[in-house]
Structure 1
């Protein structure tokens, strides 16, 4: 080993707890501490490494050969302990096991499907906004827009029957909590999460899916032998888990930012080009998925630090997206900024397959809002929702003025 390499015992240690009460509501203080201490730090409470600088976060995410996902993208190390939860068939698999499900979903979620959905989603967004503004101009932007639209648009596209769609939020909220330690957020939600999971599993069956949707297309891929019949419900399940919750909180962050930056809302309202990239700036500024983990597959070197095999590394997406080494004035929300390079959707092999759908939903919703809403401002304090992994919202009260 080169003497220039940092040994594990010389890596700076951080004692802050990202899974404490403060960290699960607003992880900013923790993320800044990690990013500004060193390229790589050790989290003393959890006996793992962490990195938060954009250069190294992107390096880890793109190098699945050395920093794998197979042993879990949460804190639990499934290289050294038995998995206590169901693993994601996409997020927590590397090649070759990752390849077939990834190919199927990439094809299904491709440009052809987006073009098919675009007209319907824009019309649905107009209907939602018109109906909302027909009864009130003061409302919870999370519940009435950021949550209401994805819970209608995306499940319709997948083919999920009407009824208990609210379970999708609770189900995926628990999954993101489960990427952390088994703290109170996990323990208290456990019994209800099992019931939600049973509903999701039932909804993934071929017979439960509406004809013509993305879910039916996944089962058709199984019929063609592109994935197995055993994999098909897990692929549908992954689509459920990823397609709603993160989009809800991405839209929530976007609406929160626009309500608190009226000059930015005016830019969005007036300029279609700005409107199309506003979600990406919101993802950079207030990243919904704040962190994921990787596990070293062998002894590796990261930013001059020697790390042994089967070590956990916390990869701080939120910290990277506000890294002053990468972004000018990173704490400012600026829809005129070019946010290319942000890792709010991840990057590399495990980059979000549905990111174009999230952008389409945001564009549709903002277009409908711009047509009717002249000004938007907070109508009270926004309430965050604690989560071990997400930067999430409970309520975002806003007040708007409208134009006919």
Structure 2
């Protein structure tokens, strides 16, 4: 199912607005309107009980931005937004542009690159490390920890269990962090400085750093790898983009729609609800499928077709409501820098072999995606 989920998603959508996934004892919503409603209604479908499918993970995530409700969530999110303010991102734009051009130039000299191994992971790791103020070594560990964190959402399987030591190693490293390990005046440095000034307890400062390090890598790496691969395997779309680089924002939305980095998440319904005429009993965990919603033929015409003229600004890949991804502006900026460099410097972009998926309980991305360029 992880390698080819889309036929399964269609079965879920056709079965009804709410389906029972008996093996995991949860209800699921897979249609666009129902997924959007569930994600937006944080008062009915809560995140404070955790977004995963096992108790250990949900307990561990308590108090983070993805597992909290107002007023706690409002305070955490406001703290993150202040540190990830637009002005700071604008200052980092030239850094992202320069890094993207350097990488693409190297690829052109070789005539090929791997969209996952050579482009997405190195670019996101290097750039986010500079934004947060951590070393590339810490960023590399955080990338592995980010992937493991999404695996830990469950349900309990081999991937979930294998992720545990990776997460424990990341937390152990974070426990040892000091300002001396960080770039002065960077986001992570500022958080630890706030702790030293008595504004944040140490546990809260670590939780806040994790809120940045955890989600900042895996999903953006996945989105970047898929954007490059989709353009390589759809030559008419690549030609259209080269002739119309102003379509880059549309490419970002369309690639995230058709290959959503976040495929599944969950909410907890403590008091019961009704979705499209179907009753949700109290104390029910609900599986939410944005990867299915973004391909719902009830909402998008020809949803299986990658069409950058579509520009689906309403795609659900970044979430909805108060839990919309805090890092979405950062991810868009990274993708814009890379796509701009590709569009400017690359003429021919073609697949150079079969891609290999990186199987994950929650996200969808490549382990490898080889392309040739000239």
| TM-score range for the pair, normalised by the shorter chain length | over 0.9
For residues 180-214 of structure 1, the C-alpha deviation after alignment (integer angstroms, 9 at most, x for no partner) is: 212011223433442233224434x4443221212
Paired with 2:359 and 2:25, the residues of 1 have a C-alpha distance of 23
Q: 1:308 to 1:207 in 2, by over 3 A?
A: farther
For residues 100-146 of structure 1, the C-alpha deviation after alignment (integer angstroms, 9 at most, x for no partner) is: 11101112222211211111211121122223323x11221111111
Structure 1 residue aligned with 2:160: 186
Question: Structure 2: which 5+ residue stretches go unaligned?
Answer: none
Which of 166, 185, 199 is the equivalent residue of 2:140?
A: 166
Structure 2 residue aligned with 1:117: 92
How far did residue 270 of structure 1 move?
2.5
Paired with 2:350 and 2:310, the residues of 1 have a C-alpha distance of 22
Structure 2 residue aligned with 1:106: 81
Structure 2 residue aligned with 1:255: 228
**1:159–1:209 Cα contact (<8 Å) kept:** yes
Q: 1:185 to 1:88 in 2, by over 3 A?
A: farther
Structure 1 residue aligned with 2:263: 290
Structure 1 residue aligned with 2:252: 279
How far did residue 399 of structure 1 move?
0.9
Structure 1 residue aligned with 2:348: 375
Question: Of Structure 1 and Structure 2, which has the larger fraction of its residues in helix?
Answer: 2
Structure 1 residue aligned with 2:119: 145
Give runs of aligned pairs for residues 311-350 of structure 1, distance below 5 A: 311-350=284-323
Q: What secondary structure is seen at the aligned counterpart in 1 of 2:36?
A: helix
Structure 2 residue aligned with 1:386: 359
Q: 1:42 to 1:226 in 2, by over 3 A?
A: farther
Paired with 2:103 and 2:170, the residues of 1 have a C-alpha distance of 26
Paired with 2:106 and 2:57, the residues of 1 have a C-alpha distance of 49
How far did residue 88 of structure 1 move?
5.9
How far did residue 226 of structure 1 move?
6.5
Q: For the aligned residues, what is the CA RMSD?
A: 1.9
Q: 1:266 to 1:227 in 2, by over 3 A?
A: farther
User: So what's the TM-score if we normalise by structure 1?
Assistant: 0.88
For residues 352-388 of structure 1, the C-alpha deviation after alignment (integer angstroms, 9 at most, x for no partner) is: 0111111111111111112221011111110001111
Structure 2 residue aligned with 1:55: 33
Structure 2 residue aligned with 1:396: 369
How far did residue 147 of structure 1 move?
1.2
How far did residue 86 of structure 1 move?
4.1
Structure 1 residue aligned with 2:214: 241
Paired with 1:273 and 1:372, the residues of 2 have a C-alpha distance of 15
Paired with 2:285 and 2:67, the residues of 1 have a C-alpha distance of 14
Structure 1 residue aligned with 2:326: 353
Q: 1:142 to 1:298 in 2, by over 3 A?
A: same
Give runs of aligned pairs for residues 213-228 of structure 1, distance below 5 A: 213-220=186-193, 228=201
**1:104–1:221 Cα contact (<8 Å) kept:** no
Q: 1:88 to 1:279 in 2, by over 3 A?
A: farther
Paired with 2:320 and 2:32, the residues of 1 have a C-alpha distance of 12
Paired with 1:321 and 1:88, the residues of 2 have a C-alpha distance of 29
Paired with 1:370 and 1:224, the residues of 2 have a C-alpha distance of 46
Q: What secondary structure is seen at the aligned counterpart in 1 of 2:215?
A: helix
How far did residue 84 of structure 1 move?
5.6
How far did residue 83 of structure 1 move?
4.9
**Residue range with higher mean Cα deviation, 64-73 or 293-302:** 293-302
Paired with 2:283 and 2:149, the residues of 1 have a C-alpha distance of 23
Paired with 1:30 and 1:300, the residues of 2 have a C-alpha distance of 25
How far did residue 24 of structure 1 move?
2.6
Paired with 1:85 and 1:24, the residues of 2 have a C-alpha distance of 25
How far did residue 301 of structure 1 move?
1.5
